[in-house]
Structure 1
């Protein structure tokens, strides 16, 4: 099964004799068997015919719309919320102790992922600054245990994130890129442009797994329920920002996948060009398929993350052996 990414303005996708036909101004560019496509990702002004849309949705697939900066604008299809799962999720959100437990686990896994990325790159950089930053991230993760409110944990996470992002100039020092801090909406430099686009791809992957699990995207534990329509998706994304998105960005930088000409400037904004987005998606997809997520691929890792979270909800309807295996894999990876 495959996903069809549409990143070039003017593309048209129609259905003919059991095949999706991708064309541009009347010229056929690609032909894909209908049953081979499990989802479509739209990233530009394109035309997807009614027949194509119906085919994807009838087979349980999805059509995702991404903004140019990578933000998920919406997803058609796959609304399979399960009453029991949503009730458990809502009850855990309303229970202060359970909400703290869920939020703490998410943030601890996020900080451990950031710590591991720094240590991985420091094997070749041999930087005392990176070593010290990794030690501080471990200290911040440990401090979360004593927090009695989500607000207090988010304060620690904010300090930890600043320490983490402050390490980026060291990670980029042998490249053609610079880092002056995180900026978005719009991103204003190539690194932030790639990060924003990658985060959008991670958001899509997480949202699909959340819906597959029968959970609701809107009841968050870190991001709450008032200000974020997909608060729970953003919660689950936390560790995968590093494991998938940042990992892909640094891979592209280290392999010199892009040049300055691969970024479009629109006022202060900086975006990957249409052709560059295609190449970035290839790199992200390769990364997602690899068993670099505690011994499994991105999709399976998200599923296991959701099992950990459901355990904190008090859900006992799944195989604990699989969840325990994930905990052991995380522990092994963190101590490597």
Structure 2
């Protein structure tokens, strides 16, 4: 699989014979061979010529559009799989309230247990009262999620767990350069939240592609509310991967000083190219913190590298099922879990999300 990110602002993508050519004005910047290109991610003010759009569609190259601030805008593809029978099964199963609640419980428990594992991994280095208390609260939330009687109470447990987890995240940062006082977004207001938001967006785009290729309807999930235009199923599947695919990448990038403050634009020194007026013209005076061009390149490289890593994960039951107790490439796990969700919709097996295994 080959994924290419177009980050350089003010460029235009053209078709050139059997390849793609990125130009700054009339000057060629980069030639992109299309033979092994699987996905193209376009950030901000990058233009696609009509010939490039036609070429991408004819080759079936999944093309994702993000704003310069990393907000997911949409995608270009030649149409989703037309597996209407699978979708009918999906709709029928998700009208079954007990089935939907059981699936949602599993999703939330797996997410919270992965978050717990992040704190436990740090506690191996020595006692920390804040993290110890946070671990206890997360385990309580996971137990509460397992017995939640409806989706509303389940969402309450998930929300409380998130608040505890992000309060503890500050304890996990080991460099004074990066300060984190809790989760904020739309737009994110500090470098750590910028990286978290972008990482979650990249993760969502990767999972949405797998869901569409499976034939499932990405808009119909179990845990997230149905809403016009919302990819609820993708958001459901994203939960179990937030920790291993994004949170740990951000912590590693900060603590190892791979990412630095120079990789971000701040409102008092915002370059003109960092102002995406189509999205934030009304907030020009309150322009958020954003990654620089080099910052984008570095963080995207970290995310893609992580997707190719082999990680230790387990299922909730601890069995050897789809993933239990073994090391798997993260990108392959995206596809494997979507396939497992399909089998659950068909009634062939129960769906078990994966949990990041901090013990290995």
Residue by residue over 1:135-191, the C-alpha shift from the partner in whole angstroms, topping out at 9 and shown as x without a partner, is 332232122222110111010111111111110111114442111111101111111
CA distance in 2, matches of 1:220, 1:280: 29
Q: 1:332 to 1:256 in 2, by over 3 A?
A: closer
Q: 1:28 to 1:184 in 2, by over 3 A?
A: same
- Residue 69 (structure 1) aligned with residue 88 (structure 2): no
Decide which moves more: 240-249 or 128-137: 128-137
- Residue 296 (structure 1) aligned with residue 296 (structure 2): no
> Is the partner of 1:221 in helix, strand or coil?
coil
> Is the partner of 1:296 in helix, strand or coil?
strand
CA distance in 2, matches of 1:46, 1:125: 48
The equivalent residue for 1:313 is: 345
1:54 Cα deviation after fit: 2.2
Segments of 5+ residues of structure 2 without an aligned counterpart are 268-285, 314-326
Decide which moves more: 14-23 or 184-193: 14-23
Structure with bigger helix share is 1
Contact 1:217 / 1:231 at 8 angstroms: preserved in 2? yes
Residue by residue over 1:303-325, the C-alpha shift from the partner in whole angstroms, topping out at 9 and shown as x without a partner, is 23224433443432xxx6xx99x
Segments of 5+ residues of structure 1 without an aligned counterpart are none
Q: 1:290 to 1:332 in 2, by over 3 A?
A: closer
The equivalent residue for 2:43 is: 43
Give the count of matched residue pairs. Answer: 328
The equivalent residue for 1:5 is: 5
- Residue 333 (structure 1) aligned with residue 357 (structure 2): yes
CA distance in 2, matches of 1:111, 1:97: 21
- Residue 230 (structure 1) aligned with residue 231 (structure 2): yes
- Residue 281 (structure 1) aligned with residue 300 (structure 2): yes
Q: 1:334 to 1:265 in 2, by over 3 A?
A: closer
CA distance in 1, matches of 2:168, 2:228: 30
1:234 Cα deviation after fit: 1.0
State how 1:53-202 maps to structure 2 within 5 Å. 53-77=53-77, 78-124=79-125, 126-202=127-203
Q: 1:272 to 1:151 in 2, by over 3 A?
A: same
Contact 1:209 / 1:299 at 8 angstroms: preserved in 2? no
State how 1:254-265 maps to structure 2 within 5 Å. 254-265=255-266
The equivalent residue for 2:291 is: 272
Query: Once superposed, which parts of structure 1, at least 4 consecutive aligned residues long, lie more than 6 Å away?
Result: none
Decide which moves more: 114-123 or 243-252: 114-123
CA distance in 1, matches of 2:140, 2:337: 23
1:123 Cα deviation after fit: 2.8
State how 1:15-26 maps to structure 2 within 5 Å. 15-26=15-26
Decide which moves more: 76-85 or 35-44: 76-85
CA distance in 2, matches of 1:279, 1:152: 40
